[in-house]
Chains A and B, each alone.
Chain A
Amino acid sequence: MKVKQLTIDPNWKSRLTAIGYGYHTDNEEPYWIDDYYYEITNSEADTIYQATAEVWDMCLKAVEHVIANKLYHLFHIPGHMVHYIEQSWENESPSIYGRFDFAYDSVKRKLKLLEFNADTPTSLFECGIVQWNWKNHYFSESTDQFNSVHEQLIASWKEIKPYLKGDVLYFSCAKETLEDLTNVEYLRDTAIQAGIQTQLIYIDDIGWNGHAFIDLEGESITSIFKLYPWEWMVHEEFGHHIVNDIHRTQWIEPSWKMILSNKAILPILWQLFPHHPNLLAAYFEPQRMLKNYIKKPILSREGANIDLYYDKELIYATPGDYGQEGYIYQELATLHKEESGFSIIGSWIIGQEPCGISFRESTMPITTDKSRFVPHIIKH
């Protein structure tokens, strides 16, 4: 796994804009990297695939454990949601996707799970479309990439389609978020290709008529994909309506994903699968034997409020407004480092299948919303 340079396409920004990718730079700082990339071997791709499949399997067992033992207090899940979550798990309410973030230790050749973005993962469009187009622009047709995101999305929607309620699957996100809207519209695009009738509605335009959620035309919403965090929804004004809704609207991602998107799942995984080669030691309380570790809020986003301790000394911290629900303590991972920065691997599980990876790179060893997206290819 190594970084390789390219002679940059002088028209790279317009090339990306032409495929509908409008947030490749952030205040003149590139978010998308076009002129260098990661080259990985077939064997490394196999390793990532196997780790993703194995960790996904462990995650499902961990959800079962949390529900069976009613450990909701560790996750700060509100009481009114407990029965609803249990029902969504028992009914096998479908999930479309999730993204595992792994650290890769190039010396030991080990992947370690940093966290699971199970509820509202983004960068799907970058991975499935932009990265694929980038490969075809710079390389021959025979060049490979760990990336079947697009066809796996369509295949997964086709599997989910018979279980959807109603005729229309709504897609929703917050207003004025081009990144979220791009991801939602990409998902909607693949659902349309799977033969599903869709409609877009902003999350704040969803209505409540006293017994059901409705769209702007007054039609009942019975199935909806939302790129909006469960932990926010349940505490907002309509949060209590989720459980009172006469249609029992099918939310995708389903509510049982609240367990997996919460960082409290990391100590649970470590308890259930101690010393598993793809896990980092993680605890609910600080541990004397942990010298190098990360303190993470159980609910936080985009690398906010992370404290990094080295030899028990705080050496780096990110700002943010999270942490009131509590923290977990996770062994410090060794991140892959190149001259361009530290990188982590985002590995997508779509349906039940690992099907695509992306690299995010940062100058500091914590990935934030400013981290750069670096494309990759598989070496011949």
Chain B
Amino acid sequence: MRKKASSTIKLVLITSVLASCGQPVAPAEEAKQRVFMRADSTAPYTEVTKDYRDQHRTGGGMGSSLLWFMAFRHIGAGLGYSNNNLNPSSVSGTNAKKAAAYQAKRGGFGNTAASSKSSSFGS
């Protein structure tokens, strides 16, 4: 029977990333650290230091911590998160397959949730 408590529990993803949410960033580190991003290995980098710091200051839980990379991406057509401080050249390189990814239709799932006031779509 499995009605006994787990003897040990290890989290590899959540504790390592999520538990760091809300940790204050040392001012000295803020001053030194610069962050550059690109969405494609063939695309040029753009500096996003300011955006990265803003995400960390919010302490908004795992959404901002885990998905901060996604938050800067231009998906097009208003999909995904986007940030105009990231130069569009940094999200589109010369990789044809990845370029095709931007041509795909997106947003075909999720509309029901978008029109709901609920904070969870589970049960």
Chain A interfacial positions (CB closer than 8 Å to B) = 17-20, 22-23, 26, 45-46, 48-49, 117, 119-123, 128-129, 132-133, 135, 143-152, 173-183, 185-186, 188-189, 192-193, 200, 202-209, 214-218, 227-229, 232-233, 235-238, 241, 261, 301-302, 353-356, 369, 378
Contacts and interface: CB of A to CB of B under 8 A. Distances in A.
28 contacts: A19-B11, A20-B11, A20-B14, A20-B62, A22-B21, A48-B3, A120-B121, A122-B122, A123-B122, A129-B11, A132-B6, A133-B9, A135-B5, A143-B5, A144-B4, A150-B9, A178-B62, A180-B121, A182-B61, A189-B14, A202-B70, A205-B70, A206-B108, A217-B97, A227-B121, A236-B111, A301-B122, A369-B118
Contact of B66 (A200, A209, A227, A241): A200
Contact of B109 (A133, A150, A228, A261): A228
B62 A181 contact: yes
A204 B66 contact: no
Nearest to A301: B123
Given A22-B61, A200-B66, A369-B120, A216 B108 contact: no
B13 A188 contact: yes
Contacts of B11: 19-20, 129, 186, 189
B112 A152 contact: no
Contacts of A26: 119
Contacts, number: 210
Q: For the complex, would chain A's binding face be called helix, strand, loop or mixed by DSSP majority?
A: mixed
Interface string B1-29: 11111110111111100110110000000
B123 A207 contact: no
Given A17-B22, A182-B62, A218-B101, A236 B108 contact: yes
A180 B122 contact: yes
B109 A122 contact: no
Contacts of A216: 70, 73, 75, 80, 101
A214 B101 contact: yes
Size class of the B contact interface (CB-based, 8 Å): 35 or more
The SS class assigned to the B binding surface is loop
A147 B98 contact: no
Given A236-B110, A237-B108, 15 more contacts: A20-B11, A122-B123, A174-B110, A179-B119, A185-B18, A189-B13, A192-B12, A193-B10, A203-B109, A206-B108, A208-B105, A217-B101, A229-B121, A232-B121, A354-B2
Contact of A183 (B9, B21, B101, B122): B122
